[in-house]
Amino acid sequence: MMMTLCMRLAILLDRGEATLGMIARAKATCSSNGRVVCALARECCGGNGIVLERHVMKAFMDAETIHTYEGSYDINSLVSGREITGGLNAFV
């Protein structure tokens, strides 16, 4: 799902049809889903999920970093919500 979302957004960007709200929603969705996938992978691997040779914990930490670094899920949700509501601003 995340790859399909990003591919569709890339097509819209190439056409000049993508908006800031679409980009923010894609960032929020992909960073949130990425965290869930990494958490499930760590859980499935049990204790081996923490061992560096499995690289699961590294992916988990990278997902946490991206979730925060990319403007955080909450900020991206507010940006996309502003576009959906026609400009009603939740920021002050």
Nearest-angstrom CA–CA distance, 25 and 55: 28
Q: What is the dihedral of CA 34, 37, 41, 44, to 10 degrees?
A: 160
What are the mean pLDDT values of the chain's consecutive 10-residue runs (92 residues total)? 94 96 93 92 84 82 84 84 83 64
Domain, as residue range, for 42: 25-84
| Catalytic pick among 17, 43, 70, 83 | 70
Number of domains in the chain: 1
Give domain status of residue 8, yes or no: no
Please indicate whether residue 70 is annotated as part of the active site. Answer: yes
Give domain status of residue 15, yes or no: no
pTM for this model (two decimals): 0.79
